[in-house]
Structure 1
Amino acid sequence: MKEVKRLKANKTWNQHVVKVENKTLVLEKIIEHSPISRADIAGITGLNKGTVSSLVNELIIENLINESGPGKSSGGRRPVMLHFNQLAGYSVGIDLGVNYILGVLTDLNGNICVEKQTGFTGLDYDEILMELFHIIDALIAAAPKSPYGIVGIGIGVPGIVNKENDILLAPNLNWRNVHLKPAVEEKYGVPVIIENEANAGAYGEKKFGAGKTFDNIIYVSVGVGIGVGLILNGKLYRGNNGFSGELGHMTIDVNGPTCECGNRGCWELYASEKFLLQEARSAGLKNGEEENNASLQTIIELAKTGDAKALDVLDKAGRYLGVGINNIIHAFNPDLVIIGNRIASAKTWLIPPIHQWIENQTLWFSQKDLKISFSDLLAYSAALGVAAFATEQFIKSSLSDEASAL
């Protein structure tokens, strides 16, 4: 008798698992092809029309999709069209940089509704946490009313993050073994995702930016340091323990200076925003009448005027970016390299030396069908990427709740 009950329970469980999988598939197709009819969903998914209709009705009740007026007819009755309800909830995406925090509030389709940003220097972990809370508080306060409210918070950080979302090392922040996730979850009571900012940027570009139509993408995030995110065969590649992409710390000069990570001659010592500012100071570039305080924007403004020193600094950084990108191309044979983060604002002057280095140094067959571009999303790649992670986790958990409750 016990065996019969167990078999019935397993059958019930399996039926619910199949239902959740089908429901997920239906919602995915509505998100991808909105507006779409029930009949078209059945045609795309291979599910029968009765199953599609039943699952659609559930999704409407759950406020995840909406119906609109009839669409075009192919000969019979004009079909009712279905739309993903992108305003059912909102996600918070945070790009936590070495000297700034950029936060965005997005709807469930990744559209930015509100953004907040702050800069800082020399703050410790607790002080940065307070700045982070201020940004998140402001974004949540600005969120419109919705059925699900804030569905999750994603935070991209410039460091090594393990599969448990712990920050093992963020050398430019001087962080080691930092548990940011529980601190944020305890305060806000919503799911939190912590991700390496370059991984987040790569995903943001794949989903919303220059990488939409590419499957093998290298995203090079150039800020105070350099991080690399990898999209391989259409999926974010994290490596064995989640530590892939730390290519800003590959050695390009064995006799080079010591990096914050403890290695010598790291790529980010020669091609990052930090390097640009050091070179600008050494060249005597200045902001107005003040010496030695040139910012990235100062360098760009001087370059616009044809300032020889500013142009030389940017050319040097571009060549060193080309050195690292060349190594990455030979390792991964991508079809697209995207250079992003704040350095993208200087693309006008960085493109020529990067392209020249690649043309001269990259093996000819690795250059075939290769495109090198700067981010379409500029500084928003990582924030949008982690917001998308939070949204996708919400949708997945919402659809699986009924199965997990059994």
Structure 2
Amino acid sequence: MKITGDQQLIKKMNKTIVLDTIRQKQPLSRADISAAIGLNKATVSSLVAELIDSRLVNEIGPGESSGGRKPTLLLFNKQAGFAIGVDIRVSDLLAVLVDLEGNVIREKSVPLADSEPGSMAEQIRKTVAQLSRRLPESPYGIVGIGIGVPGLVDETSRVVSAPNLGWDNVDLAGALAAELGDNIHIDNEANAGAIGEKLYGAGRDSLNLIYLSIGVGIGSGIIVGGELYRGTSNFSGEVGHMTVAEDGPLCRCGNRGCWETLASEKALVDRAASLWKEDAPSLEEILASAKQGDKDAVELLNEIGSQLGVGLANLVNILNPELIVIGNRLSLAGEVFEDAMLGTIKNRSLSYHRKKTHVAFAKLGIRSTALGAASMPITAFLTDPDVSVQETV
């Protein structure tokens, strides 16, 4: 019998569903899969056989019997391939090599002396090559690369604007494709961070959450109903540029009183430099001083916490999220400014809106964006389990 295009599509979709069911509920048997997704046992067995042949699924032995022959249990082969996630920051980049379940195999942090697009592309190529050396044995090798960029990224993965890097209209994926392949995904770093925390971190059990990336600027990734909200042009989440002080400091965007001019890591460091009349201290130095009881450092961090609370109260009132996750570098000082931040949220948000909203710090620390970026090529790879992927980058 000739298989039509529609039948082939349905078969591919069913195979993807079977694979995803194994990943989410492993270990389980063929009968378990049939019961979970409603496909007959013969169809499930045929699709499982193909997944075993492609080495995406392994048989791991018998499970408990319910009266008849013991069923053979199935396990997703998380080391069938690997992915690399890259978090581009203003002064450095963080790259992680992960297996297909997002477990970090190795990572590398590289300082950036030059953020020019060509130099950045070359540094990414070098870092990917270093992480790819001596991979554990696998049938698919590196399945793809994901990159988080601190700027606006359109639907085609082109970086429209990244002011802190000095980029406008940069085709980073195109610059990398010749050496790193076509499975390259580029997104705003806060979107990637939101995906990372949703899949692997603080947001695993939340369907509606906001991830705040607070570093030189403030960006957000917004998850609604378990899916990333992107907006009409893929540019949602620029919460750092909502006005919180009408006559506040001038922002790099040209506006005054943007939230990030008052509550970002840069705002903290600039304020510390003006108070202490010396070279701008780092976040780590300010935090160390606060932990040693330095009154000025503690007050400064509490001031930043209060300013964070102002913007967070707005987000609570507008979006009524289940969870707000605070990530990127400023989260390192969360233990100091948390009380001031939460107090401001309580005082400025509507009580019914905040009643079920929880605020947490990123469970993945500064890896949120890199891990979220790595998940993007993994998702693309596993959504089409018929695709043959090269074993090397």
Q: TM-score if structure 1 supplies the norm length? A: 0.92
CA distance in 2 between partners of 1:137 and 1:262 (Å): 40
- Superposed counterparts of 1:3-402, under 5 Å: 12-121=4-113, 123-284=115-276, 291-399=278-386
CA distance in 2 between partners of 1:213 and 1:233 (Å): 11
CA distance in 2 between partners of 1:209 and 1:193 (Å): 21
Q: Is the 8 A contact 1:105 1:143 kept in 2?
A: no
Unaligned runs of at least 5 residues, structure 2: 389-393
Q: Is the 8 A contact 1:114 1:142 kept in 2?
A: no
CA distance in 1 between partners of 2:253 and 2:128 (Å): 29
Moved more, 151-160 or 128-137: 128-137
CA distance in 2 between partners of 1:266 and 1:22 (Å): 48
- Structure 1 counterpart SS, 2:385: helix
- Structure 2 counterpart SS, 1:152: strand
Counterpart residue number, 1:4 = none
CA distance in 1 between partners of 2:214 and 2:41 (Å): 49
Q: Is the 8 A contact 1:24 1:399 kept in 2?
A: no
CA distance in 2 between partners of 1:59 and 1:154 (Å): 25
Counterpart residue number, 2:391 = none
Alignment RMSD, CA only? 1.5
Give CA deviations for 1:273-321 in whole Å, capped at 9, x if unaligned: 1111111212218xxxxx4241111111111111111101111111111
CA distance in 1 between partners of 2:235 and 2:134 (Å): 35
Report the CA distance between 1:122 and its aligned residue. Answer: 5.5
Number of equivalenced pairs:
388
Q: Is the 8 A contact 2:244 2:257 kept in 1?
A: yes
Cα 1:184–1:71, aligned 2, differ >3 Å: closer, same or farther?
A: same
Report the CA distance between 1:139 and its aligned residue. Answer: 1.1
- Structure 1 counterpart SS, 2:276: coil
CA distance in 2 between partners of 1:98 and 1:147 (Å): 36
Q: Is the 8 A contact 2:88 2:94 kept in 1?
A: yes
- Structure 2 counterpart SS, 1:172: coil
Q: Percent identity?
A: 45
Q: TM-score if structure 2 supplies the norm length? A: 0.95
- Structure 2 counterpart SS, 1:398: coil
CA distance in 2 between partners of 1:251 and 1:187 (Å): 43
Unaligned runs of at least 5 residues, structure 1: 1-7, 286-290, 402-406
Moved more, 115-124 or 237-246: 115-124
CA distance in 1 between partners of 2:138 and 2:354 (Å): 48
CA distance in 2 between partners of 1:207 and 1:339 (Å): 16
CA distance in 2 between partners of 1:271 and 1:119 (Å): 25
Give the AA of the match of 1:104.
Answer: V
CA distance in 1 between partners of 2:232 and 2:357 (Å): 27
CA distance in 2 between partners of 1:189 and 1:53 (Å): 33
- Following TM superposition, the consecutive aligned residue runs of length 4 or more in structure 1 with deviations greater than 6 angstroms are none
Q: Is the 8 A contact 1:20 1:400 kept in 2?
A: no
- Structure 2 counterpart SS, 1:399: coil
Report the CA distance between 1:390 and its aligned residue. Answer: 0.8
Give CA deviations for 1:113-161 in whole Å, capped at 9, x if unaligned: 0100012355423233332222222112243231001100000001010
CA distance in 2 between partners of 1:400 and 1:126 (Å): 31
Cα 1:143–1:350, aligned 2, differ >3 Å: closer, same or farther?
A: farther
Moved more, 193-202 or 178-187: 178-187
